[in-house]
Structure formats: structure tokens, C-alpha cells
Amino acid sequence: MIFWIRWLALIGILLSCYALYVKRTAERYRKYKPMCDINGSISCTKAFLSKEGALTGLPNPIYGLAFYVIIFAATMYFQKELILYLSAIAVVASLYLAYISYFKQKNFCLVCSSIYLINILIFAFSL
């Protein structure tokens, strides 16, 4: 299972980097349209630029990047308990952000949903 968690963490790192790139670019260039923006209700920039797209002034993708790097490092040292606890917190955060995106913003974010799925899978594999 550690093998799969390691790969999921690597994918999470890539998705977090892409999310950060989209957020930063969309903040600078209002006409920027990333691949993940399909229409008004399927938009990652809508999620990234919302007030919930940052916590304490730092964009959520930075927290995601840190989380996945820690998870990847934990797999190298077989820290199964750490992976379990951190992934449980990530699943709770994912459920909250999914609720905000799907029900309050009425928006589907492809990148965000992929990250939520990765968090759930890391948690499931850590059990």
C-alpha cells in the first residue's frame, strides 16, 4: 500500500503545483483561461480565486503541496500512523471544501475534485 500512497502523493504534488500556477496566473491576467475552465459552472479559477481558496493568506495549493511532500517523505520512512492522521485531516478538509464548491458556489472544479479523490484514496490505503 505504501507504493500506491507514494504515487498518489506525487500526483497530488503535480496537481497542487498546477493549481498554484492557475491561481497565480489568473490573479495576474484576468483574461487567462486554463484547461480546467470549461464553462461558468465547471471552473477551477472560480474555486481558486474565491475567499475559501486561501487560508490565513496562503493559497490552499501551498498547503496541499506541503501535505503531499510530507506524505511522500513519510512513505520513505514507513510512518504509517502519521500518514493515517494527516490523511484523515485532509479528508475532512476536502469534504468541507467540496461542500463549499458544489453547494455554495454551485461550481465543479476538476482539479479540486481530483485532489479530493487523491486525499480519500491516501486515507483508504493508509487504513
User: What residues make up the domain containing 58?
Assistant: 2-28+36-126
Q: What is the mean pLDDT of residues 58-74?
A: 96
Nearest alpha carbon to residue 111 among 64, 68, 66? 64
Q: State percent of the chain over pLDDT 90.
A: 87
Mean pLDDT for the stretch of residues 50-70? 93
Cα separation, 63 vs 57, whole angstroms: 11
Domains in the chain: how many in total?
Answer: 1
pLDDT band (50, 70, 90) for residue 70: very high
Q: Cell 510530507 sits at which residue?
A: 70
How far apart (Å, rounded) are the C-alpha atoms in residues 48 and 30? 13
- The answer to whether the beta carbons of residues 72 and 64 sit under 8 Å apart is no
Cα separation values, 15 from 77, 79, 110, Å: 23, 23, 10
The confidence score (pLDDT) of residue 56 equals 86
pLDDT in tens, 77-126: 989 999 999 999 999 999 999 999 999 999 999 999 999 999 999 999 99
Extract the C-alpha cell encoding 10.
506525487
Indicate which CATH number applies to the domain containing 75. Answer: 1.20.1440.130
